[in-house]
């Protein structure tokens, strides 16, 4: 309604006007967000069975969201100062929101998938099976690889029959087969990880049009609900599996005679069974792993501030 | 008055470049979405074809091997994989049970990114061990796919809102409303005509863009005319619903900014809030049973059954005297016991598996009961049906595969228990899988949506007439 001209006639500088508008938008959002985060922190901290709660993580997440909101405040102010009618300003702001938060993530997901597709479940299973076949099957003493291993071991120990070995060869062969399989799984899961890290690059590229993407990835990472944390856990579980198999096979190899398939370990054996221990990644390592996301969010923050300041001179 | 309105609205829309802008936006959105969809369908088709080719190649090798064995030649394969054994055929030469995409599969991803489109059931193993989940990065699932359904359900209403939020208020704000009020037409009628014309032009644009996009992607929309016109009708009905809301908001709410906020609020409620709240409530009310627990139970049962394998086999043969009589050699191997116990395991585990299906059904019913709260849910469901990617379609596929797995297993039972060898002449009799679309195209929702929209228009008329005394001119 032309109040801006009126304000200007009072000798109000652009800077002060901008600062006032910016804080008028930011302060209520900041207060509400801070109050909600504080409330959430107090609640979660006092839940007995909540699990891992960390004020540092909550504060980091708070910072991420505050940064994210600042970016949107900057964009909205920028649009508002450039348009003549409030209605149009609203529609343009809305379009920015649709593009950044609804369309871009979906488009990113489509592009990432068509560029770096995952294998189908059946392909994946078939590839694993093929690679397994290439090597030693610990449960098949008649295969070529098993015979080869037999010759090798006999030669190494300088004996001419498996019975003369100081350990049960069946257990030894099973362990070797296990090691081969573990390698196969490692290779194929690594391929998935590889595809995913390539997909991540697509997401990072499209973050140029959407601050939503880095904010989302960061908050998932801090909350331990992102893909990287899942892999971290899956890797720990896999190495636990490998350790358990090794323990069982070695126990069988060391304590039983060749051909003694009815061997049973005594009760004390199980005390030595490796225990699964898992520590979720620390906040520090999460942040360093997500430095690129933080960087992109930082660039958005700086760039949107910069544009706003640059723009305010020309109102 | 209508013809004047028609003429000048069109002029206005063209001058303000709305029509041009909308055509470009629609073309881009529909084009990108349909392209994404067709890419996905292409990949799905290619995966299935590759799997079938592999089986074909594999079958060739199997027949050669059978030929060699039948002619008494020595073969180099591992003894348990030689296809004279029926169990070797059933395990190492499974058929592809594929769910081929429907012709309109590209319009809605639905659950296509969750489930695999082919499995190969074997004689050993269980139906519930058949894994139907697809390998996708969870980030992909989180963001979803930019498909036509997304454009129609999420973005089209926003375009309509941007297109119609200030039909009345802008006239009010620029002061031309008083001028209009001097014309011999009621305000409601005039808003209705204005919105009607916009609806008409947007419909024309959407129809043209759809046809253009379809043709550009090499899909003939008229080859699937029922589905195509279903899609068009559904889209138009959904659009009309949003125009009806815009009509109400234009009549009741005041300034342009307030109108826009009100319409956006409605958009958030209908498109974002209601579907996700219903979904969340469905999950909370009818939680899925734990898969880990089911697997544990299955393992316990298997261990128990393995101990009693001999007894089970005896019982099985008692139930199937035809096998006991025909058997002359009386040799009983691993597979005789195994297959008999598999049957038992399947029967015992049926309640656990059914519990899962029941919960799923309950969730579906829950959403089915409340879906009329939001047209977005109805449209999403209908589009998924048209695309053949709805929950029901995948459920039907799973059932068909389970039935086929049963057929496949049963096909080899006479061979196994009669100790008959599999030979080349048995090859053509192997059962094969043919997916049949399990759901019928339901177009009944389209007239219902139209009715809802028309009802909203009527409501607007009635109520705005009753508050006429107050006068639209004096508002805001």
Which residues of chain B are within 8 Å of residue A121 when distances are taken between CB atoms? 116, 131, 133-135
Please name which of A128, A130, A139, A131 lies closest in space to residue A177, comparing C-alpha atoms. Answer: A139
Q: Give chain A's radius of gyration (CA, Å).
A: 30
Which residues of chain A are within 8 Å of residue B139 when distances are taken between CB atoms? 109, 196, 199, 203, 227
| Per-residue pLDDT reduced to its tens digit, A221-263 | 999 888 889 999 999 999 999 999 999 999 988 888 887 788 8
Q: Indicate whether A1 pLDDT > 60.
A: no
What pLDDT shows up at residue B469? Answer: 46
| Per-residue pLDDT reduced to its tens digit, A67-79 | 999 999 999 999 9
Separation in Å, CA of B136 to nearest CA in chain A: 6
What pLDDT shows up at residue B439? Answer: 67
Q: How many CA atoms lie within 13 A of B324 on its CB side?
A: 9
Question: Distance between CA atoms of B413 and B415, rounded to whole angstroms?
Answer: 5
Q: Indicate whether A142 pLDDT > 80.
A: no
Please, are residues B423 and B461 in contact by the beta-carbon 8 Å criterion?
Answer: no
Separation in Å, CA of A91 to nearest CA in chain B: 6
For residue B133, what are the β-bridge partners? B115
| Per-residue pLDDT reduced to its tens digit, A184-195 | 999 999 999 999
Which residues of chain A are within 8 Å of residue B256 when distances are taken between CB atoms? 85-87
What pLDDT shows up at residue A221? Answer: 93
Question: Distance between CA atoms of B310 and B327, rounded to whole angstroms?
Answer: 17
At a CB cut-off of 8 Å and minimum separation 6, what does B93 contact? B55, B58, B59, B62, B83
What pLDDT shows up at residue B462? Answer: 84
Q: Write the residue in A95, A109, A123 that is nearest to B145 by C-beta.
A: A109
What pLDDT shows up at residue B2? Answer: 73
Domain boundaries, chain A: 12-312
**Mutation to test the A interface, candidates B137, B161, B260, most A Cβ within 10 Å:** B137
Question: Distance between CA atoms of A178 and A250, rounded to whole angstroms?
Answer: 11
Separation in Å, CA of A111 to nearest CA in chain B: 8
What pLDDT shows up at residue B475? Answer: 47
Separation in Å, CA of A213 to nearest CA in chain B: 10
Answer yes or no: do A109 and B32 touch at CB < 8 A: no
Which residues of chain B are within 8 Å of residue A230 when distances are taken between CB atoms? 138
Which residues of chain A are within 8 Å of residue B150 when distances are taken between CB atoms? 106
| Per-residue pLDDT reduced to its tens digit, A263-290 | 888 888 888 888 898 988 889 999 998 9
Rounded average pLDDT over A44-71: 90
What was the ipTM of the complex prediction?
Answer: 0.80
At a CB cut-off of 8 Å and minimum separation 6, what does B432 contact? B95
What pLDDT shows up at residue B78? Answer: 73
Answer yes or no: do A124 and B135 touch at CB < 8 A: yes
Count of A-B CB contacts under 8 Å: 89
Rounded average pLDDT over A308-313: 83
Please name which of B151, B232, B247, B150 lies closest in space to residue B198, comparing C-alpha atoms. Answer: B247
| Per-residue pLDDT reduced to its tens digit, B237-279 | 999 999 999 999 888 877 887 888 899 899 999 998 999 998 8
Task: Classify strands B97-98 and B118-119 as parallel, antiparallel or unpaired.
Answer: antiparallel
Domain boundaries, chain B: 2-28+148-277+449-474, 286-373
**Mutation to test the A interface, candidates B51, B140, B271, B401, most A Cβ within 10 Å:** B140
Separation in Å, CA of B470 to nearest CA in chain A: 25
- Phi then psi for residue B73, to 5 deg, are -85, 160
Q: Indicate whether A54 pLDDT > 90.
A: no
**Mutation to test the B interface, candidates A94, A122, A215, most B Cβ within 10 Å:** A122
Q: Is A11 left (phi over 0), alpha (psi -120 to 50) or beta?
A: left
Q: Indicate whether A36 pLDDT > 90.
A: yes
Strands (E), chain A: none
**Chain center to CA of B378:** 13
What pLDDT shows up at residue B56? Answer: 93
* Intervals of chain B under pLDDT 50: 469-470, 475-476
Q: Search chain B and give the residue with CA nearest A193.
A: B137
Give residue ranges of A with CB < 8 Å to any B CB.
Answer: 85-87, 90-91, 94-95, 98, 102-103, 105-110, 112-114, 117-124, 142-143, 192, 195-196, 199, 203, 227, 230
Cα angle A191, A214, B43 (rounded to 5 degrees) comes to 40
What pLDDT shows up at residue A2? Answer: 66
Give residue ranges of B with CB < 8 Å to any A CB.
Answer: 32, 36, 39, 43, 47, 51, 78, 116-120, 131, 133-140, 143-146, 150, 154-155, 158, 162, 165-166, 170, 256-257, 260-261, 264
Rounded average pLDDT over A134-161: 82
What pLDDT shows up at residue B129? Answer: 64
Question: Distance between CA atoms of B283 and B364, rounded to whole angstroms?
Answer: 10
Which residues of chain A are within 8 Å of residue B118 when distances are taken between CB atoms? 122
Q: Search chain A and give the residue with CA nearest B40.
A: A114
Please name which of A143, A238, A237 lies closest in space to residue A187, comparing C-alpha atoms. Answer: A238
What pLDDT shows up at residue A41? Answer: 93
Please, are residues B197 and B10 in contact by the beta-carbon 8 Å criterion?
Answer: yes
Burial B353-370, CB ≥16 within 10 A → b, else e: beeeeebeeebbebbeee
Question: Distance between CA atoms of A304 and A310, rounded to whole angstroms?
Answer: 10
Collapsing DSSP to helix, strand or coil, B17 comes out as: coil
Q: Write the residue in A86, A98, A195 that is nearest to B155 by C-beta.
A: A98
Q: Search chain B and give the residue with CA nearest A142.
A: B78
Question: Distance between CA atoms of B293 and A15, rounded to whole angstroms?
Answer: 63
H/E segment holding residue B379: helix B375-387
Separation in Å, CA of A123 to nearest CA in chain B: 9
């Amino acid at each position: 309604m032309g109040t801006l001209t009126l304000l200007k006639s009072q000798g109000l500088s652009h800077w002060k006007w901008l600062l006032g508008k910016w804080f008028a938008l930011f302060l209520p959002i900041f207060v509400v967000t801070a109050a909600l985060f504080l409330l959430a922190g107090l609640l979660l901290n006092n839940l007995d069975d909540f699990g891992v709660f960390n004020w540092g993580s909550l504060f980091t997440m708070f910072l991420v969201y505050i940064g994210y909101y600042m970016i949107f405040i900057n964009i909205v102010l920028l649009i508002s100062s450039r348009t003549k009618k409030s209605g149009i300003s609203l529609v343009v702001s809305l379009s920015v929101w649709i593009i950044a938060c609804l369309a871009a993530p979906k488009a990113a997901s489509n592009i990432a998938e068509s560029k770096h597709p995952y294998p189908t479940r059946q392909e994946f299973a078939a590839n694993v099976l093929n690679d397994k076949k290439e090597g030693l099957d610990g449960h098949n003493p008649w295969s070529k690889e098993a015979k080869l291993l037999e010759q090798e071991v006999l030669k190494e120990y300088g004996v001419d029959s498996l019975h003369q070995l100081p350990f049960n060869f069946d257990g030894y062969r099973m362990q070797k087969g296990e090691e081969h399989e573990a390698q196969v799984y490692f290779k194929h899961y690594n391929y998935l990880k590889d595809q995913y890290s390539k997909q991540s690059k697509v997401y990072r590229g499209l973050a140029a049009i959407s601050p939503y993407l880095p904010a989302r990835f960061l908050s998932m990472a801090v909350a331990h609900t992102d893909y990287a944390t899942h892999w971290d856990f899956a890797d720990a579980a896999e190495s636990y599996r490998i350790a358990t198999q090794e323990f069982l096979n070695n126990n069988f190899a060391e304590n039983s005679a060749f051909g003694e398939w009815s061997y049973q370990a005594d009760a004390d054996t199980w005390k030595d069974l490796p225990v699964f221990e898992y520590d979720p990644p620390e906040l520090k390592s999460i942040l360093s792993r997500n430095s690129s996301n933080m960087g992109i969010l930082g660039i958005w923050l700086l760039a949107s501030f910069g544009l706003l300041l640059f723009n305010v001179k020309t109102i | 008055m209508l013809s004047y309105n028609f003429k000048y609205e069109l002029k206005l829309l063209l001058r303000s470049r709305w029509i041009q802008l909308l055509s470009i936006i629609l073309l881009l959105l529909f084009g990108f979405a349909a392209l994404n969809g067709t890419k996905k369908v292409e990949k799905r088709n290619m995966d299935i074809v590759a799997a079938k080719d592999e089986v074909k190649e594999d079958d060739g090798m199997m027949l050669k091997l059978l030929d060699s064995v039948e002619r008494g030649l020595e073969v180099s394969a591992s003894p348990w994989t030689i296809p004279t054994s029926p169990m070797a055929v059933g395990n190492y030469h499974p058929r592809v049970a594929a769910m081929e995409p429907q012709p309109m599969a590209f319009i809605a991803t639905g659950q296509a990114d969750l489930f695999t489109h082919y499995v190969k059931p074997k004689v050993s193993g269980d139906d519930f061990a058949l894994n139907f989940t697809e390998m996708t990065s969870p980030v992909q699932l989180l963001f979803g796919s930019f498909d036509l359904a997304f454009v129609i359900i999420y973005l089209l209403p926003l375009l309509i809102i941007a297109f119609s939020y200030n039909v009345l208020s802008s006239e009010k704000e620029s002061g031309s409303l008083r001028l209009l009020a001097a014309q011999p037409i009621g305000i409601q009628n005039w808003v209705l005509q204005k919105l009607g014309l916009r609806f008409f032009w947007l419909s024309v644009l959407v129809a043209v863009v759809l046809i253009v996009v379809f043709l550009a992607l090499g899909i003939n929309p008229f080859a699937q005319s029922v589905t195509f016109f279903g899609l068009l009708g559904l889209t138009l009905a959904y659009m009309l619903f949003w125009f009806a809301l815009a009509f109400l908001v234009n009549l009741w709410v005041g300034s342009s900014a307030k109108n826009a906020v009100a319409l956006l609020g409605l958009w958030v409620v209908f498109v974002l809030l209601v579907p996700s709240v219903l979904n969340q409530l469905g999950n909370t009310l009818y939680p899925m049973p734990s898969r880990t627990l089911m697997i544990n139970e299955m393992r316990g049962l298997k261990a128990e059954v393995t101990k009693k394998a001999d007894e089970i086999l005896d019982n099985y043969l008692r139930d199937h005297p035809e096998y006991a009589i025909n058997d002359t050699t009386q040799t009983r191997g691993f597979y005789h016991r195994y297959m008999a116990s598999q049957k038992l395991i399947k029967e015992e585990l049926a309640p656990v598996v059914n519990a899962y299906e029941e919960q799923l059904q309950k969730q579906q019913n829950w959403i089915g009961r409340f879906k009329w709260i939001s047209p977005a849910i109805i449209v999403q469901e209908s589009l998924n049906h048209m695309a053949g990617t709805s929950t029901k379609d995948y459920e039907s596929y799973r059932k068909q595969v389970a039935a086929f797995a049963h057929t496949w297993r049963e096909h080899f039972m006479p061979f196994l228990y009669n100790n008959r060898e599999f030979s080349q002449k048995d090859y053509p009799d192997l059962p094969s899988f043919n997916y049949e679309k399990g759901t019928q195209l339901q177009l009944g929702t389209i007239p219902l949506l139209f009715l809802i929209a028309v009802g909203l228009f009527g409501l607007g008329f009635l109520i705005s007439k009753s508050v006429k005394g107050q006068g639209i001119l004096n508002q805001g």
